[in-house]
Structure 1
């Protein structure tokens, strides 16, 4: 792009993440030349404790402001992997959450109506903004501002490529970068552009106990202060790169993991945004209040009227939280019905994963615990004593279920790092995920209560650690 050329179109890619959802959060945004794909400006900021959706909206705001500084008259195409933000800003979905309404209104005011269009892209195509968001969260965790990793020469070269009135903004941005400091978390952020809103310095042309049958019905981090932000016109840095002040402790690259990761209080800071599983047990069926074994080897019952009511209640609660980004369901009807009800409320699609199906209880399907005890006493005793014992008639052992569920967990966490997934599934898969996250023995399955339409949550970090955030929450059913 020549020095005198004016841009008639810009592409903004933005993303946000939260390590806990809500938890320590940050955003990233990049402005691209639509022809060359060149990165014209980058923005990133650690914003303290927030949800994924709030962080995504903050990223959108930063990207639009950066684009406006570059070319206020250009048409802007926003590309994000947040279907929620894209559909809401396009006017196709209603904005219900009170935290998102003012952010959406602010974004709509940056450019005149009709000058900005929105496009959903898969997460794999939004890696640049995703990397920036993670860099910002890593910087905030270390107590400093995010800064671009390019050299000053590259920064100056990038600024020289900015056209029109944005040239003056580049000069001011370089001055701001020269005076910016790296304060500890919670300390003051100095330098031009810093204010009570938490927007920090600029560095480029843009602103910015009795056993319970597992198949039956019975059977949250303190706030972190913002550490500032920065915007750069320099080319994008390699993934995971982050310069540190000479006095700062080195921060491991995202994705790195120790040979034997410690857990609990001995664990180091996490190495990237976690994949968070919100675990929803399906609503009641006719078998649930009777406490009958209901797995994947018998009939496939539908939700009862009470179960449908429960599904609607949990859907409303999840919509109010505004944190779920994707929905994955067991293939069994009761889960698919529950998932569909939630999906309608959230405006999301449902993907079915066979790994989330309930245990096959063999000849015990449809029976109560007392009936199994009367008909198959030896088999039941063996089943209660060993996770390797299977129910009568070719059922599935808890050990087999654990292998299946663990494989599903690994596949989903690898594919959805940094995302919040709603898994609509059953008693045994949810208890298994919790047990594995806690490192508890198999008999722990008989010591957890899990009600119909209850919500639990586990976060999985890239260093191998897991954190159980919630278990058997039924507050939405009251």
Structure 2
């Protein structure tokens, strides 16, 4: 059977991604790409220009949809949005930095960092919650587009959780996986099995 290839991309940089101190940008802060993020989107689109991409999907959030639109434009494709791959809901911690969170809600902070799969962002989702909604959507795409190359533009936590699951890692360890802005993860699906063959590739962003 011909393999299906899914190219899982993280969106380009927004102002929140580079704010100092770093703040949590979940599903409620819906910022567009900044200038660097738009440059990154062009770079990843150029990198993928020679791939035989048939379909492009994204989260509904601006930063993902804008990145996906640049990629899709190189192939004359429309972007289809999937709500299930929107970024993790980080609850009352949205827009706050980790030092503030640790000071204001120390016990919830401790539990989350011990095991984010079991303990959610306060008032939001855990990694397990994200996997429960994102994985079925991921599988539907694989079964819908057998033998095709498909691009999916999503988010830091969503991508980490999916990659951890594909590697068979304990989900709590997903927080240790790198997902740089506009990185590419390559997933091959054949004979009923999905394999993560490349993770967090960013060679196209150099120079």
Report TM bin, short chain.
over 0.9
Aligned ranges for residues 97-116 of structure 1 at < 5 Å? none
- 4+ runs deviating over 6 angstroms: none
Question: Is 1:336 the equivalent of 2:65?
Answer: yes
Aligned residue number for residue 289 of structure 1 = 18
CA distance in 1, matches of 2:2, 2:99: 45
Question: Is 1:407 the equivalent of 2:136?
Answer: yes
2:46 is paired with a residue whose SS is helix
Aligned ranges for residues 434-445 of structure 1 at < 5 Å? 434-445=163-174
Question: Is 1:307 the equivalent of 2:37?
Answer: yes
**Quick check: 2:45–2:70 contact (8 Å CA) kept in 1?**
yes
Structure 1 residue 287: Cα displacement: 0.5
**Deviations 1:342-383 (CA, angstroms, capped at 9, x unpaired):** 111221111001111000001111112222222211111111
Task: Indicate the structure (1 or 2) with the bigger Cα radius of gyration.
Answer: 1
**Deviations 1:33-54 (CA, angstroms, capped at 9, x unpaired):** xxxxxxxxxxxxxxxxxxxxxx
2:136 is paired with a residue whose SS is helix
**Quick check: 2:118–2:126 contact (8 Å CA) kept in 1?**
yes
Aligned residue number for residue 182 of structure 2 = 453
Question: Is 1:316 the equivalent of 2:46?
Answer: yes
Aligned residue number for residue 475 of structure 1 = 203
Provide the aligned length of Structure 1 versus Structure 2.
203
CA distance in 2, matches of 1:317, 1:389: 38
CA distance in 1, matches of 2:183, 2:145: 23
**Quick check: 1:278–1:420 contact (8 Å CA) kept in 2?**
yes
Structure 1 residue 428: Cα displacement: 1.3
Structure 1 residue 413: Cα displacement: 1.3
CA distance in 1, matches of 2:204, 2:12: 12
CA distance in 2, matches of 1:395, 1:358: 11
Structure 1 residue 385: Cα displacement: 2.3
Mark the runs of 5 or more structure 1 residues left unpaired by the alignment: 1-271
**Quick check: 1:388–1:400 contact (8 Å CA) kept in 2?**
no
1:395 is paired with a residue whose SS is coil
Question: Is 1:363 the equivalent of 2:108?
Answer: no
**Quick check: 1:340–1:350 contact (8 Å CA) kept in 2?**
yes
**Quick check: 1:434–1:458 contact (8 Å CA) kept in 2?**
no
1:346 is paired with a residue whose SS is coil
**Deviations 1:121-159 (CA, angstroms, capped at 9, x unpaired):** xxxxxxxxxxxxxxxxxxxxxxxxxxxxxxxxxxxxxxx
CA distance in 2, matches of 1:419, 1:274: 8
**Quick check: 1:324–1:422 contact (8 Å CA) kept in 2?**
yes
Structure 1 residue 302: Cα displacement: 0.8
1:390 is paired with a residue whose SS is coil
Structure 1 residue 400: Cα displacement: 0.7
| TM-score between the two structures when normalised by the length of structure 1 | 0.41
CA distance in 2, matches of 1:381, 1:403: 23
**Quick check: 1:276–1:420 contact (8 Å CA) kept in 2?**
yes
The structure with more helix, counted as a fraction of residues: 2
**Quick check: 1:361–1:396 contact (8 Å CA) kept in 2?**
yes
1:341 is paired with a residue whose SS is helix
Higher relative contact order (CA 8 A, sep 6+): 2
**Quick check: 2:5–2:150 contact (8 Å CA) kept in 1?**
yes
**Quick check: 2:160–2:175 contact (8 Å CA) kept in 1?**
no
Aligned ranges for residues 5-44 of structure 1 at < 5 Å? none
Mark the runs of 5 or more structure 2 residues left unpaired by the alignment: none
- Cα RMSD after superposing both structures: 1.3
Aligned residue number for residue 349 of structure 1 = 78
